[in-house]
Each structure stands twice: as structure tokens, then as C-alpha cells.
Amino acid sequence: MRVLDFTLFELINAIKNGDLSWEDVMDEYKIRIDRLDDDLKAYITINENIDKVNLNTPLAGVPLAIKDNICTRGLRTTCGSRILENYIPPYDATVVTKLKEAGAVILGKTNMDEFAMGSSTENSAFFPSKNPWDKSRVPGGSSGGSAVAVAAREAIAALGSDTGGSIRCPASFCGIVGLKPTYGLVSRFGLIAFANSLEQIGPMTRDVRDCALLMNIIAGYDEMDGTSINKECENYLTYLNMDVKNMRMGVLKEFFGEGTEEGVKKEVWNAIHVLENLGMKYKEVSLPTIKYALPAYYLIAMSEASSNLARYDGIRYGVRIDDEGLDWSKAYSKTRSLFGKEVKRRILLGTFALSAGYYEDYYLKALKVRTLIKRDFERLFKEFDVLVGPTMPTVAFKIGEKIEDPLEMYMMDVDTVPVNLAGIPAISVPCGFSNGLPIGFQIIAPPLMEGRLIAVARKLEEELNLNLNPPL
């Protein structure tokens, strides 16, 4: 078995048993990156300064990739933006500290839509990433680089962040597993903010067992994060063999609506019947307020982005353009002109939604809709253990196909944003292919029920036993 074909779990055991050295593993991955990444563009920055690791640790020297909006001490963190192009954080995000203490090696920082604003990774200020299943197509976003790195064997696993689907979308498009945890379960300290009330860091892996293992490392209370949940840590690996018989599964009708491709519907329904054959019971259900989720999400996200990105003024954060002879207002304006088109669009729309005379009509109304969506989920979870449907309405689309139509691009998030509004956990697991491109199956659970997601996803993964090696 090639080193690059090992899962995270298998690689840890091989290193601990002495079958492989972590240095040899690193060499294999670096060779792979050198061979493929000039084309695929998974990484923005490669880590050239790797310290010796302690093998008496849970992760024992395995190579991971980190999305470029998660701070890494001494390693460039750009957020996919020219305005942070040369930013080197003086500290690690809490999740990075936990990974390092567990013995992981950080291979590099992965490409992303600028400030995590996008569903395709085309909004990166540096370059778009390519889908390893078809290099003419997007890998999804905003954690597209992390998904490419994992799918193309340029990292054993990765961290992403999910504000409205940014882990689950690229996981679906690239044929990997991506988990968006309950809001507050994983520390957000050191995550460069886009929309504070929505975003969450989570694992992106080759299989569900690896996902459970990474959750064991990164989950837990952090006093540095005011939104962190103070609860006892779980061992998510114990859920891998949990029996799913007699679990109740709600199939969300709205997730199969207009714009959902027939190939996606077919494979997702096949996955539902696979779970039914394992003893799960399903019923089609409706989430009436879901039709308002997308506009509510974008109003809230853009408003929070407008507030968060105000700090990039050339004085407190980021690049400063201070040409001789410019007064402060022109220097400020020129500095902020470094933001890309999509970031500017969201700042402008968010500022408008928060402005006097419009705050109650837009932002406040969106918050009320958010509460209604949360209550709808709570109502359904009284009857069902999990809710299921497609992760994305389509397979990966062509690079350039939607970038000039923001509304069409925003519509791609229709099945993912409700979860972020409600603050609940969801996982995307591969369930099949359409025209040779992967399809993601989304499983949604009540707050703090990540174990239940892992149990159902693992059973589906084992039953389907898909070949998830891209043709590279």
C-alpha cells in the first residue's frame, strides 16, 4: 500500500508501529505537492520550517493542511486576500495549538475564497483552485484548497471553516468527508472573522473515522473564545460502531427542489434506501421557513462582514498604502481598494443593511427569520434523530461558469446555510457520482449530537464502499 493511500488512522498506526518514519511520510507528501500543486493550486503557502515531532502523541507526526484564515504562528496567513498578503501571525489559533500538541505537522496553508466569501474558491486573490476529479471545474468553497489537498493526496487531512457551507460544499464537490460542528463546540480563537455568529472550524478528511479522530483533538472548551461551549469532551471514535437500527430519518423535501440535478437526486435517494436497509426509518418532511434561509443568511453574513472588515484600514490591520502626498482619507480608500470584487460587494450590501432607516427592514428582520428557522429544526428533531438530503444541488460546475452571476452563485448555498443559521451540526459524506463527479450526502443532527452524525455517516460509507481516488 502506498503511503499516500493510507488514511489518517492507518498512517498514525504505521508510524507508531515503526513501519514508517514520519520524515519519510513528509517526503512523500512534499514530492506529491511538488508534482501536482503547480496545477491544482491547493496551497497558498508551504511550511518550510518543520520541527522534530514527539511520536508519543495521538497524531504522531502526520501531515495536515490548514485553511488560510486560521492563524499559524510564524507562518503566513493571508485569508486569500491581498490586504493580508504578507501577514505573519504572532500566535497560533487554538485548534492549531491543539493539533501541534497532538503531534501533527502543518504542511501549509490552503487556498480559499477571499475572507471565506464564496462557494468556488474563484474569489481567492491569488488563483483559483482546481477540482482533482475534473480540472476544468471548481472544487467548491470557501475551503476549496483544503478539499483539494485531501482529495488529491496532498495532505492526509485538513481543517476548514464553515460559515454557510464552506466545509460541506467543497467536501461534496471533491468527494471527501466534511463536518461542520455545533456552533461553539470547536474554538474560533485565531479564526480570522467573516461572520462571527455563523462560522465554525471543522475537519475535512478521507473517511468518517478520520473525521471522528480529528474531532477528538480539536473539540473542547476554550476560555479565549467567548462563544465556546463549556462541556465535557467526548470520544467520537466510540460512535463508529453504533447501531443505527430504528433511528428516525427525516428527508427534507425542500432540499430536492428547483435547481437540484437529477443525478444528485438519484444518488441521494439511493443512499437513503441504503440506510433504510440498515434498519433506519424515513419519512419525507417539510421545513417551511427554509425558503427564507438564503436571504436571511446573506443579510446577516454581509452585515457581520461589513462590521468585521472595517478594521482593515491600513492603520490597525493589514497592508497600508501611504503614497506620498495622500491625505488620510485617500490613503484609507486606496488601502481598502485591495479588497476583491466579492468582498467589496458584501461590505457594501452589509453596510446598507445596517444603515439608519434600513436596519429594522433588513438586518433585524433577518434575525427574526433566523429564530423561526431554528424553531423549525427544533420541531423536527422532536420526531427525527437526523435530517438528510443533498449537500449541494449540483455536482461541481465549470470554472468561470457562475462567477459573473453573484445571485446564481449564492443559490448554490441553498441546502447548507440553514444549518449555520440554526447553529447545529452537519456532515457531508460521499454517496455516489454523476457524470464521473462526486455527490455529497448531508446528514444534520440536533446541537452537540456530532456522535450521531458520525454513526450514520460511517454506516453509509461502509455500505457504499465507493472508490474515491481522483484520476490524477
Give me the residue spans of the domains in the chain: 3-245+426-436+450-464
Most distant pair of Cα atoms in the chain: their distance: 73
Q: Specify which residues 283 forms β-bridges with.
A: 250
Check 146, 161, 166, 303 and give the catalytic one: 166
What residues contact 155, with CB distance under 8 A and at least 6 apart?
29, 42, 63, 64, 65, 107, 110, 146, 149
Cell of 402: 457562475
Contact 362, 368 (CB under 8 A): no
Cell of 99: 493539533
Q: Specify which residues 441 forms β-bridges with.
A: 390, 429
The pLDDT value recorded for residue 414 is 96
Catalytic residue flag (residue 21):
no
Tens of each residue's pLDDT in the chain, 472 residues: 589 999 999 999 999 999 999 999 999 999 999 999 999 999 999 999 888 888 899 999 999 999 999 999 999 999 999 999 999 999 999 999 999 999 999 999 999 999 999 999 999 999 999 999 999 999 999 999 999 999 999 999 999 999 999 999 999 999 999 999 999 999 999 999 999 999 999 999 999 999 999 999 999 999 999 999 999 999 999 999 999 999 999 999 999 999 999 999 999 999 999 999 999 999 999 999 999 999 999 999 999 999 999 999 877 777 777 666 667 777 778 888 899 999 999 999 999 999 988 899 999 999 999 999 999 999 999 999 999 999 999 999 999 999 999 999 999 999 999 999 999 999 999 999 999 999 999 999 999 999 999 999 999 999 999 999 999 8
Question: Among candidates 241, 236, 239, which has minimal Cα distance to 58?
Answer: 236
Single-letter amino acid, residue 245: K
Predicted structure pTM score: 0.97
Cell of 470: 481522483
Cell of 286: 417539510
Contact 443, 169 (CB under 8 A): no
135/472 Cα distance (integer angstroms): 10
CA distances from 286 to 121, 240, 377, 381 (A): 32, 29, 10, 12
| Cis status, amide bond into 142, omega within 30 of 0 | yes
Question: Among candidates 283, 219, 264, 288, which has minimal Cα distance to 393?
Answer: 264
The pLDDT value recorded for residue 318 is 72
Give all strands of the β-sheet with 200-205 in edge-to-edge order.
43-46, 105-110, 63-67, 157-162, 200-205, 177-180, 426-434, 437-444, 386-390, 248-252, 281-285
Catalytic residue flag (residue 67):
yes
Check 142, 187, 306, 428 and give the catalytic one: 142
How would you class 288 by CB atoms within 10 Å of its CB: exposed for 0-12, middle for 13-18, buried for 19 or more? exposed
Question: Among candidates 440, 424, 437, 469, which has minimal Cα distance to 185?
Answer: 424
220 half-sphere exposure, CB direction, 13 A CA radius: 14
Cell of 438: 462526486
Check 67, 98, 100, 402 and give the catalytic one: 67
Q: How far apart are the first and last CA of the chain?
A: 17
Single-letter amino acid, residue 471: P
Q: Domain 3-245+426-436+450-464: which CATH class?
A: alpha beta
What residues contact 171, with CB distance under 8 A and at least 6 apart?
140, 147, 177, 178, 204, 391, 428, 440
